[in-house]
Every structure is written in structure tokens, then in C-alpha cells.
Structure 1
Amino acid sequence: MRKILLMCMMSLGAMASAQIFVNEGFEGSSLPTGWASTTTGTGTTSTPSGYGVEAGTVCEGSKAVYKNIYKLVYTGWNLTYTSAVSNGTALDYSFKYLAKPYSSTNVVEGTVAADYSIDGGVTWVDLLAPVVLNSPTNPIPCTTVSGTIPAGVIPAGADFRFRLKSTSSTTADFYMGFDDVKLSQVLSNPPVCTTVSAPAAAATAISVTPTITWASAAYTTGYTLNLGTTPGGTDVINGLDVGNVTSYVVPAANTLNYSTQYYVTVIPKNNIGSATGCTSSSFTTRAIPCPSVSAPASSATAVSLTPAFTWSAVTGATGYKLSIGTTAGGTDILNNSDLGNVLTYTYAQAPTLNYNTKYYYTLNSYSASSNSTSCSERNFTTKTLCPSVTAPASSATGVSITPTFTWTANTDATGYRISIGTTAGATDILNNVDVGNVLTYVYNGTALNYNTKYFYTVNAYNGAIASIGCSERSFTTKTLCPSVTAPASSATGVSVTPTFTWTANTDATGYRISIGTTAGATNVLNNVDVGNVLTYTLGAPLAYGVKYFYTINAYNATATSVGCTERSFTTLTLCPTVSAPVSNAAGVSLTPTFTWAAVNNVTGYRISIGTTSGGTDVLNSFDVGNVLTYTLPTPLNNSTQYYYTIVGYIGTQVSTGCSERSFFTICTSTNVPYTLDFENVTIPLLPGCSTAINSGTGNVWTSEAGYAPFDTTGKVLRYKWSTSAAANTWFFTQGINLVAGTSYTIKYKYANSGTTYAEKLKVAYGTSADVSGMTNPIADYPNIVDGVIHQESLTFTPPTSGVYYFGFQAYSITNRFYLMVDDINIDLTASLATSENVKAKNDIKVYPNPFADVLNISDVSNVRSISVVDISGKLVKTFDKPESTLHLGGLNSGMYLVILNMKDGSKQTIKAIKK
């Protein structure tokens, strides 16, 4: 039974006779008008969890309203109905409740209750005192509660409220459901008409056993159904009482006619009477369906020339019609031929079907009122008259030039014909020659060519009927080409006077050789006849280091080989094996020495050097003579990549294709202050004298256009993101001169571009620009995940004087990177103020500081000697017999370290600044 809200007011003229009337099964997807849902607890959604079967098997229909209440989240749920149309009579009420655990590990534990109010919810009267629910594992099935509120208790026009309540314990987790709520006061007026919702008005293609549905009408206790073939007609169903439901299915025993228009009228009623003036709604039933065909199967092959068609019966059909054609949609064999009310038909009439032919057919059903439409077209192909050919095998090679053709018999055939051609479909050798009713044929016509592809077809016939569409096959006759053994195909290092060798072809009486410098060319030898031999040595030498292409053909008195394989070989190279500089070497001298190994027979070597790949702007094929080493006399540029090639020559023959190599010249170190901001770097190259090393599986550091949070107009050092790739990537600065015992400050910025992935960065320095050299850690940032710029300023003191490299490491096993570094600055830690006097541990002072030309020392009695060192670590001044006044006018402006070598063997270092 369909259940839906049935409370509404009558018309404005009938307000005085309105009453509370509810028949609600919650079959929709939202609460009906007049209902409200509220909850207690910490849950944020007061609406029901849904409408369906989550609370268990519904009581009637297909849905119940339910709410998941559990623990302290939803501790209680109220479902309240409100009405102000009481007529003061007694109110019959009933409802059903059900519950089910949320899952197999949860329990139903709580209460269910019901009450009502006649003062808008100020005071409440129990209809069902709280019932304890306790079902740890099993659902609580539909339980019905019913009763009557006596007449006069709910005054006419009262603000009436009916409430369903449930609660959960602190350990419960279950679905609470309510269904089939019925509230009914004494009816005082008949219902109004309803509207049919299905089939939709004027709908077509409707089932012949349709489901008729309609909207519920207020104050209704039942419905009468009429169905006819005219508006308001009752010739099919006349006044059928279907009960208090909102749907009716026409039974199969009373199937409607196909392709027929029907009119349905639904009349609501109650104990007062029936609605009047209700109109009918029309719909048209579907056309009779197509039969289900079983034979011939769709796309069937080898079908008899008198095929049998079979199909299953269609309910209501009085006959079937068949169409057959030779094209899709065609009817040239049968055109909608009426077969009668049968389920099988054998075609055995004119025109006779052909062998190996595709036919298309369609089977339709019909009745007195309808014909099937758009039935599927199927096809089948009749059996073939073609024989099954066994030789030559399709695409066979090495076939005799007088081939034998064989095939197996076709029982329908009385003879066979053969066609042979030099192209697909051609018949220029044999044109459908009748060989009689035999199963083998030896070709003895005009001799076929060697190594040639031929196409052939064997057809059959039966009287005047010839096979069609028989498969064309091909074969290739045996070759006259010899089997070449030397030079091996693609051989290298071959003599410039090579020897060619091959094995005999028994059909050949001689051989010819062609040689060229490109594929297919004959510019060295053009089909030169070498006689009936199996070896040939080239007289005139070929060029060194050149690739040649050659073909050896055979011939006899009647034929010349065709399609013989072309091979290639490359002659001995004059390119030397270069040992220095190593390809891609770094830190190479500005006047590098080139070395290589000797090449046999070479009389000299030439060197080319350029600043670009293939370039010769430094040296252009410079002849260095027959030597194995050469030192460049003119210095190259500092920190620059160069490309070079060394070639050998013999007389006028110069080697070709020699490998080009490259190297990087040495990069000199720099002094502090050192600044690196990447602004003048060509993307994606790194700054001069810096390097990047990747020891993991990710990408490497490169310079990039600015990324947030850095400004978008500048450039940064960036580690590119690589999907889930492990990283161990370093960036190293240029070498920087540092002095032992001196405090330096390194400043830099770092950031990531977002907050999704935690970035990881280490900073260190050491004496070589590689991973193992980074022995002095400065900082480690293992969790950069805030997406903002960080600016660091850290001090450090190198353990010894020398050249140091600073490294920035992106490291991770699983993280992804958008890691950036910028504005690297290395300088002495905070310079001395103008008025500052530096004081040694034994109270020795130097002044003034900064100084102009003279620096005074307060006490030299315990000083053995004094050394003055500049910031790069270079010794610039020594005083073996120190005095209290040091004359330093010859020094440049800048910071210096004044080292006091004490008589007790200790040392004291004082910073001083010269103006």
C-alpha cells in the first residue's frame, strides 16, 4: 500500500468542516508539510538521516523515515506533526516504530515514546510512555502503537501537536525508524478529486500491463477506478474498488491491447461519499514487441542455401512477417512476407540463394491492432563453393618457379579453375583456367621469375554456378640471390680494400657487385660482373672511416636476381682514441694538454676547439703534425665550457665522424664578501663556478623565475618537484677564501611554495664541491611547511685557512619538493665600530681602530713577533722585532688580522680595520 500524507484543509468554503486527517508512510525524499524533525545532543543536522530501509524491513510500502542516533552526538530525536484544523471530535491514532544497529559491532539501546499537545507544545500528554529498547545484535521489527483520544479533548481549532520521540544511551549506535502514522477525526465531508500521475497524461509506448498511480486526496478512505477506450469510459474496468491505495497494476490476465489509446479515471471516496466531477487521463499502449530470433544466428556463416528461420512467440501476436535482402535494409528476396502464426520457416523458393553471399533479414510480429517496429536486422552468409587450398601455403616463400597447386574437394563442386597474377587481383599469368574436376595442378606455362611474389586463386563451379569470393593467396618464388658472408652487414673497421665473399646459388652462373656511398647508390661499383666466383677483392682503395652500401646479385642464362639484400660496412677509422682532457672534465687548466693514442698508418692529426658544440672559434682544424700530445699555448677563459675534436689524416684523406668532447676550465676562488642572488643567471643554468649534484632519484637544483613567496619578477635557486621521488640533491657555491679562527656570517633566504608537503633543507660547508666534502654543518630544516619566506643569519668559524664551498641540500625519502633558496651572502662577522679598541686576553690593546697608517700596540714586552694577514689569508706584513708602533701605510683599505706570537708559545689574534 502506498502511504503518503493526507492532511490538508478543504476549500475556503468548507473550513468549518475541516478535521485532522493524516495517513503518512514517508515514501518521499523529504518530510511532508506539517512535519518537523529536531534533535538533542552535539550533532549539527536535525533533519532525518534518510528515507528507506536503514532502520530495518519497512512496515508497508518501500520506505520508512529514520535517524542515526548514537552516544552523546544525537542523544535524542523528535518527529513532530502540527495542525490547527481540529473539529473537536475523537481522534484515532496509530504509528509503527522499528530500529536496527548501525553495524554488526553496534547495539540498539535507548527508548521510544509518543505524546501530544493542544497548546502549541507548552504541555504534553503521553500516548506511549517511554519503552526501553535493548537489542544488542538483532533489529527491532515494526511495532504498532494505536489508540483514541476522546471527543472534546482536542478542541475545535486547537494548536495540536503529535510527537514521536526516541533516545540513545551513551554506548548505543543505531537507526531509529517510524512508519505508517495515521491520525483521523470523524469525517464530515466527501473528498475532492485526485490527479493521475502515471502513466503521464497523453503518454505513449506504455506497457500493456501498466501501473496506474495517483496523488492521495484529503479525507479519503478509498478509491474507485474506471478504465475505458473513450473519455470517461468503463468498457475495460468499471467501478473497481481498489481500496485506500494510490496505485493499481493491470493484471496479466487482463492485458490491454497494443497500440491502443485508453482513458483512466480515479474517484476518491470516504464514508460521506465520493468525489464528483473527476476527469479522466489518457495514455497509449506500446506497439507489439519484436520476436526473439534464434536462427540463423546474427552474422552466422556457412548457412544452407535453404535456411531455416526460428523465433520465440510474442504474447498477443497473431502472426509474423519476414523480409530478406542482399543489402542492409534490402527486401529484394522477400518483402515483408506474411508467414502466419508460426514459429519456424524454411526458405526454399525462387530466387535461389547464392553460395558465399551475405543476406540481411528482419522478422516482425503483428496483431489486430499493432505491428512491431524497429526490429533488429540480422545477417547470415551462405556456405561457400570455394575449395580449401593446401599448397602453396599462403605467403609461402622459396617456391619453385614451376609450382604445384593442391586443394581438397568441395562436395558441391564439379570442377575447378585457377588464376595467377603478378599483383593482387591480377590474372596476367593464368586467367581463370579450367583444370577440370581434379585436386592438383602443376604449372608448366611461361617460366615464373625468381624471388617474385605471385597471387593466385582456386575457384570451383557447379554447372553454371561459380564460386565467388574465394580467398586470394600469395607465394614468392625461390631467390637467385647468393648468401653473402663478408663483409658482415653493418661491420665496422673494414679494410679500405675489402674482400667480398658469398656462398653459391645452385641456379646461378655468375655474380655482379654494386657499391655506393648511400643506400641504393652505385657510384663506386655499378653492377660489375665478377664471373662465376665466390670471392672478390676490391682493387682501388675506399676512403677511411666511411660507410658504404653494397649488393651482390646472381644471374643465369635466362634470369637475373632481383631484390637481393643490400648490406653496409664502415671502413677503418682515422679517429684517434683521446685520453685527455676527459669528456666533461671540470677544473681543466687554461692551457690544457691534449693527448691521444696513435692510429696505424696516420701521418698527422688536427685539432678543432670551440665555445659551442661543433664550433671552431678557438682552433679550426689546426694541424699539430704526427704527434700524440699538444699543449695549447694561448690561455683559455676562466670557468668556461669548451668543445673539441681531434682527427687523424693520411695524405689528403681526413677522418670523419670523430667524437666531439667537452671540458670546463678551472674556476678561481673568490674572497668575502661573497653574494649570490641568481638575478644575472640564464634560466635554467646555474651561476658561474657553481655546481649541482643529484645522488637520489629526484630532479636537481636549477635557477628559475621567481616563485611565491619570493617576488615574481626575480630569480631563485629552486629544487623542482618530482612525483614521490626520493631526493639527495646538493647545490654548491663557488670556492671562497676563508681564514682559520675568523668568525664569518652567512645569510640566506629559504621557503617552500605552499603548505601541502614538508620540505627539507640542510646547509653545510667544506673543502671540496661534492657531497663528501660537506663536513661542517651549519643548519638543518627538516620540516618547512608554512609556505612563507625565512631569512637566516648564522655565524661560523672555519677550522683551517683555505678555499671552502658552501652546499645547500634538498633531502627526502618520500616528500615532494618546491624548495627555494635565494640571496646568499657570506661576510665577516660584524665589523669593529670606529671607536672600538680590541683587547687581547692579557689586556694588550691596539689603537686607533680603524687606523690610517700607524697602528699602536699597548704592550709588546711579551710579544715575540707580529704577523699581519689580509682577509683572504695572505700574509702581507711581518715584524720579527716588534715595536709598539706598527707602520702599515702601504696596505690597502680593508680588514686585517694582527697575529701576536707570544713568547710563551701562544697566539693572540686582533681584528683591525685600515681606513
Structure 2
Amino acid sequence: MKKNILLFSFLVILLGIFSTTWGDLITIGDSNATTNDQIPINRFYNYSTYEMLYTSSEIGAPYIINKVAFYKYSGSTTVTINNVSIYMMISSASSLPTTTVSSPYTGYSLVYSGSFPNTLSSGWEEVTLSSPFEYDAGGNLHILVVKGYEFYSSSRPYYTYNSTSTTYLCRGNSNDGSQPSSLYATYNRPIVRFDVSPLVTEQPPNPATNPSPAHASTNIPKNVTLSWSSGGGAPTDYKIFWGTSETSFENEQSGITTTSFSPSNLQYSTTYYWKVDPHNDYGYASTIATLPVWSFTTMADPTITEFPHAESFDGTTFPPFGWTHQIGSGATGWQRSTGSSYPTVSPYSGAGMLYYNSYNLSDGSNASLFSPPINAGDANMVYSTSFWMYRYKSSYSSYTDKVEIYSNTTPSLTGATLLGTIIRDYDQAPVETGNGWYQYTFEIGPGAENLTYYVIFKAISNYGYNINVDEISFISVQGGNPPNPAINPSPANNATSVAITTNLSWSSGGGAPIGYKIYLGKDAESMELIANQAETVFDLAENLLFGSSYSWKVDPYNDYGAASDAGEIPVWNFSTASGIAISPSPYNAATNQDATNRVLNWADVTGASGYKVKVGTSSGASDLVNMATVNESQYYSFFKLAL
């Protein structure tokens, strides 16, 4: 009896130390403190990144962390906090010195992604983790809060912190241009509250949670990737079941070590049922719990079968039916817009257009918009795409915000063919005459039995001005036609001061050319055929003349004729550099020059590979130096001037 009393007393003591049960709260820090800062989220900047370290002694025991909250001290309740990702990690680190922490945040687990609440004037702002984190007390807990792009607000919230001096247990940074990666150490660690449940070991894991697509979703692409979150219990792998029956699944796959899976051979307009069975060394979740069964219904067949087919982006749904959107990097991607700024642009036609916010997205940010499948099964047809893009030259004229256009037989950039590139600045390729909407056409390719194409529009930011696109069309034309005229000449039309060593280049305008005839002359009437080749770059056999004007044209052809057979082709003009040396030193008519060691200099002449030098004692004379050859714009005099 005495032994039982002692055991009971020991359990009571344990419960006094670890009194946490399901849904209990652990608070680290003093919420009554008045010290406050814009940590872990800084809305005064477009981006912020902050990391905190909470020690195992502060947390106290192993738990499943289900929710996390930070104490808001003050600030507006109307400002939104979007694009927030929260990561957690366990490590042996005892402090957080200044360092670099950047995407993809290797070693951290993403536990939440979405908006962060800001509804209280003061109090705990809490989120429920989409992936509960299993804290095993084997080290200290890192919490990394990454707030992606959202235009800054002066009405920002402040959060209560306690100083951890003399140990740095927090680091972070904020800025407007891009996601901070250089994180600076600070003693100002925000107080935190965890909603936890016991971490149970030595049994099978819990059922999975947070299915994507959400249960009973409709209009899902048939190439969907299914994903889910761990429900806790330390699963090491998963078995997935799917099929058209809610009770007897036709398909299964085991040994999946990630929380996503892409089933194959799904059909349009079909309802599918699926479930996930988490597994560890102690068995499957299905042995201790009933697994939830989820469903989704695939979209109707979006394949484009009639041509021409146009997408004007006038509908409010984005992406439009059958289109898919993928952000490569950056907080936002392609969007539908009814009008944008930087530059100020209205749709080319109708109520909407495509818009990419390269004005605010950091250099290298990118996103891709994939067309619906295009039925290119007619071998007698050639398929093309055309669209309108707003070209704009700004003070950021050297910035190459651009759209790359690809084609592929699958909805993927992997293995895709680059059809062309349009840079937002009209002074860059393809060069245009001013701000405005311009139409561009690219050939996708010829048809073939059972062939499907996808066209991909990839926007890439150079942190310049915004990109606007409208009226994307898909066209099929009867095979056997001559190709379209060539485009994108270099030198550009009406270019000046062109080097005499220039080559001539251009791009295909579509229509499957197999070769090009190149014509060149001093004017449009005197042009002569100078080459017939398959390449789109031609190197002239001899240098051009200085200070001369030239006209040229390219006539693409295929087995069905030349572009000139179908209509007029463009004639382009340019003029070469003058070839006259300028900016002499000594300057013209200079006096009192050193007669014993004279160096003659002049400005480089575009395209010149060498120079002939004459020096004389009168204008035009060469009695001192007669046509000396030099390879640089400088001549060292070895003659004696009269003293």
C-alpha cells in the first residue's frame, strides 16, 4: 500500500510539471510587457523575414504543435497580412547570429501558408498549422516567419517582445525590393503561444489531413497533383488509394515518401475518390483509425478543337477555363487586370487583360501561364499563336522585363521549345517605334495524327515596369502556303552609326521557312541577291563602307514558295558610322606644343580595325609621316618638329 501511495504521489508531481493535455497552451514570454516591435511580421515593408529560437527548457516536453500565436501590442485592425509562410525546425543551435537564410529554406518544415490574422486591437493573433509540427524535445525550436510580397502599409501592427540579452535568440530583416535573406541578430524575441497536444510514440501515425484538392472540389485538371498534410504520429511513408468507386478503389500506390502524388490516366468529367494511409514502423494509420475518403471531379474537356480560338481575359475567372497558372518564383504571378499602372494601360480590347507586376517583383521572379490543350491532329495544317503586348519605354529602359513564348506537347516547361521573346521596352528586341500595343505571331508547328500542343507564356521580371498582354489567339492555316515575312531585323530598321563589320540577322515570322534569300544594296532599287541560306544570321564577306546608307531585305521560302509570292515583304534601311576621326589631341590649331615627344590621339571610330596616319608641316602635307599604319587610335611620333 505504501508503494502505491508513493507511485501516486510521483504521478501527481509529474502532472504538476507537465500539466499539458490535448489543446493546452504553452506561453513563452510575458504578454504584459510593453516592449514592442514589428517582429515577426513587418508590414511597413513589402517583404519581411524573421526567425526566432525557443529553447527545449522553455517548451518543457515533447508535443505536437497545432497552433501558434504572437501577441499583438497595438496597431490598425484593418490592414491585411497576406502571403505569410511559417516554417519550423529542431536543432542544437543555442543562439541565432547574423547569417543568410534563403529559399528554399532547407531543413525547415513548412507548417503554414496563407494570411495572418489582424483582427484585435491588442491580444493573441493565432493561426492553425496546416501541418502540425512534431516537437520531440531533441533540441531547440526554430520558427521562421516569411512574409512575401504585399505592398507596405503605414498602419502596421506591433508585437510584444522580451529582451533575451545577452543571447541572440532572434534575427531578421525587411525591405521593399525582394525577400530578405541577410538576417541580422537582435535580442528582441517576440513572445509566443503554442496550442499543443501530447506527442504519442510507438504506435501507427494519425490519418492524413488537409487534402488538396479540397474534398468535393470540382473543375479539377486531369493532370492534378494530389497532396495532403501529416496528421501527426511521425509517418515515414504513405499508401494512396484512388478510383471511381467510393468503396472499392481501383488503384493504389505504396512507399510514397512525400506528401504529394500525381495519378495518371485520369479522364475528363469524372468523379474520383481517394484516401491516404500514413505508415511508420508501428503500422498503418488504418489499423487504429478510420481513414477519411475525399473526392474531386475533373473538369470538362477544355481541348481547343476549332480555329481561330481567342482568349480575351474578359471573364472574371482567372485563370480562364482550361488554362493553368504556375508561379516559378516571387509572391505573385500572372493576373487578370481591367487596367494597370506603371505604365498606365487599359486592355487592348474588352474588359480585361493579362498583367504581370514586374514593377514590384524582384529580378528573376517569374510565372507561367499554360494554354488549354490544342488539338493539332490535322497533318495538313500548320498551327500558330498570336497576341497583343503593350510595349513601353520608361526611365528603366535598360531593364529587360519580358515574356518568353514556348510550345510543348505536355503542359510543362521541361523540354519545351522557345518560340520567341518579347521585351517590354520597345527599344529592345523586337524594336518598335513607340509606346503602344503591338501584335506578335509565332508558329507553334505542323499538325500530325493524335498530336496535342500547349503554348506557355512565361513572364520574367527584371524589376522594371509591368507587363501587359491581351487577346491571345490560336490559328490553323492550310499547309502548302509560303512562309510569313521575316521579322526582328538587326541592324534595326533605320539604325544609324552601324559598325562596318556588322552582320545581318532576323527571326522567322512563322510559316515553316526552310531557307532565306538575302538582298543588299545602296538603296531599295539597287539591292542584289547576296546569299541563300538556312540560317538566320549572315556574315558579310567584306566590310561595309564608312558613312554609307544601305537597304536590305530577307525573303523566306519553303517548298510552297517564297514570302514575296504571297505579298510585299519589308525592306529595311541602315547607315554605317562616318569613319571620320574626331576629337584629336592635340586639338585642331593647338599652339605651344611639346616638339620633342609628341603623341597623337583621336576618338575610336566604330568598326575600324586600323588607321592610316599622315603628318606634315602644312595642311594636307605628309612630309613628316606618310600613311603610317597603326592598330589603335594613337600614334607615337618619331619625327622631329622644327624648333
Q: TM-score, normalised by structure 1?
A: 0.20
Answer with 1 or 2: which has the greater Rg.
1
Q: TM-score, normalised by structure 2?
A: 0.26
Which structure ranks higher in relative contact order (CA pairs < 8 Å, sequence separation ≥ 6)?
2
